[in-house]
Structure 1
Amino acid sequence: MTTNFWSPLQLSLEISVVAGIIVIILGILCARLMARKTFKGKAVVETIFLLPLVLPPSVVGFLLIVVFGQHSPLGRAIEWVFHQPIIFTWWAAVISAIVVAFPLMYQSARTGLEAVDRDIEDAARVDGAGEWKVFKSISIPLAIKSIVAGGVLSVARALGEFGATLMFAGNIPGKTQTTPTAIYLAIDSGNMHLAWLWVLSMIGISFLMLIIVNLIRD
């Protein structure tokens, strides 16, 4: 295999793993908040959490450019701190993957946490356990199947992200060119042999991840 083959695949795996770790942490924390707390505007917050599931990837990419672009306050702050804009960087690809993968993790974690019997959590509190200990020692272990399944699906979703990444991170070889964007470029240039190699690799990785999810759920 040539470097041209391995580079996008390696980048995709790196980006999806980093994004997956961040998404798992954020997804569990947000799911805990939404599953156990009641507050004004809760429905609106949950809608925002799930919105990337139904928005076209190009819309997600456009919104990321608006939020993190050089003309936005956040974008200018990032550029001031790191001395470069975040658009068309490796981290832009990670952020794209986080945004599109988060709803899967959130949904799965919330389903698992809502299934935990609250009486068990209350009994632990009566015995003197604090909220963090209840969450860490009872809620997460009892919801672990849903959490792990959501984490695997999130990594798989991040691995296959295309539209938002292309708009927000670009398609820079060796820097932001992931396997999905590389496949697009290979097909566009008529290199079907290389495109097939990447496609089969992605199918194999995704197939393995789905097997893991099914084994966990069983």
Structure 2
Amino acid sequence: MTAAELSALLLSLKVATLALAVMLPIAVFVAYVLSRKRFRGHGLLNALVFLPLVMPPVVTGYVLLLTFGRNGPVGLVLENLFGVRLAFTWIGAAIAAGVMAFPLMVRPLRQAFDAVDPGLEVAAMTLGAKPFRRWLTVTLPLAAPGLVAGAVLGFAKALGEFGATITFAANIPGETRTLALAIFTELQRPGGEAAAFRLTLISLVIAIAAVVLSEIFVARMARRARPVGEGRHD
């Protein structure tokens, strides 16, 4: 592995990790609201959440550029007041990856919250548990498989994000060139097929490892949640 390939690998892991760390808590909150609450604008919120899935990634990246770019309403304020620039930086790449991964995190989380029996929350309430304590000790643990699935899907999507990233963060070596962008770059270069194949294998190994680890984690949680004596046969 060359220094440039190692740089792309480490940057991809850093971008995907930051995207997951920032967007997963938001995804948990939004998924719970969509699952448990009914309010005006519920359908609109649901549509906005899944909009990145139906729009071309380049369009999503362009919207981010218009919003968070140096001349965008948010980007201009951030740069003038705090000296923070997001466009064409690795943090911008993480934002683009997180936005594209967000719907894939919300969907399994919402399904997991839908599957949790509200009666269990009511029972916890009758025992004196406050709303946040009920959510933290009853609802969230029962929805943990959905949380793991959402985290794995989000990480994998963030790791392989291309269209929104190249539009919002560009393809800058050592700064925003992730594995996906490095593969694209090698394919544009005569004789770069071997390097592109190598990077593709690395991406596959990371994705498979993430899925296997998530399956192990979910299986362990299922064993812990199984009632004592279940599965025994006299």
Same fold (TM over 0.5): yes
> 1:9 Cα shift?
0.5
Partner Cα separation in structure 2 for residue 179 and residue 36 of structure 1 = 38
Partner Cα separation in structure 2 for residue 137 and residue 216 of structure 1 = 18
**Greater mean alpha carbon deviation, residues 132-141 or residues 1-10:** 1-10
State the TM-score, normalized to the length of structure 2: 0.89
Partner Cα separation in structure 1 for residue 16 and residue 84 of structure 2 = 23
**2:24 alignment partner AA:** I
Contact kept in structure 1, 2:79 and 2:85, CA below 8 Å: yes
**2:206 alignment partner AA:** I
Partner Cα separation in structure 1 for residue 103 and residue 218 of structure 2 = 19
Partner of residue 73, structure 2: 73
Partner of residue 179, structure 2: 179
Partner of residue 146, structure 1: 146
- Within-5 A mapping of 1:151-170: 151-170=151-170
Contact kept in structure 2, 1:101 and 1:154, CA below 8 Å: yes
**1:58 alignment partner AA:** V
Gaps of 5+ in 2: 220-234
Partner Cα separation in structure 1 for residue 141 and residue 12 of structure 2 = 30
Q: Tell which has more relative contact order, 1 or 2 (C-alpha 8 A, sep 6+).
A: 1
What is the alpha-carbon root mean square deviation over aligned residues?
Answer: 1.4
**1:27 alignment partner AA:** A
1:209 lines up with 2:210 in the alignment:
yes
Partner of residue 15, structure 1: 15
Partner Cα separation in structure 2 for residue 30 and residue 155 of structure 1 = 18
Query: What's the CA shift string for 1:69-96, capped at 9, x where partnerless?
Result: 2222211111113325321011110100
User: 1:31 aligns to what SS in structure 2?
Assistant: helix
Partner Cα separation in structure 2 for residue 55 and residue 215 of structure 1 = 34
> 1:16 Cα shift?
0.4
Partner Cα separation in structure 1 for residue 214 and residue 51 of structure 2 = 24
1:137 lines up with 2:137 in the alignment:
yes
Partner Cα separation in structure 2 for residue 198 and residue 82 of structure 1 = 37
User: 1:81 aligns to what SS in structure 2?
Assistant: helix
Partner of residue 41, structure 1: 41
Contact kept in structure 2, 1:171 and 1:177, CA below 8 Å: yes
User: 1:177 aligns to what SS in structure 2?
Assistant: coil
- Within-5 A mapping of 1:104-123: 104-123=104-123
**1:196 alignment partner AA:** F
Partner Cα separation in structure 1 for residue 2 and residue 68 of structure 2 = 34
Contact kept in structure 1, 2:11 and 2:178, CA below 8 Å: yes
Partner Cα separation in structure 2 for residue 6 and residue 208 of structure 1 = 18
State the TM-score, normalized to the length of structure 1: 0.95
The structure whose Rg is larger is 2
Partner Cα separation in structure 2 for residue 54 and residue 213 of structure 1 = 27
Partner Cα separation in structure 2 for residue 74 and residue 143 of structure 1 = 35
Contact kept in structure 1, 2:9 and 2:179, CA below 8 Å: yes
Identity among equivalent positions (%) equals 36
Contact kept in structure 2, 1:15 and 1:94, CA below 8 Å: yes
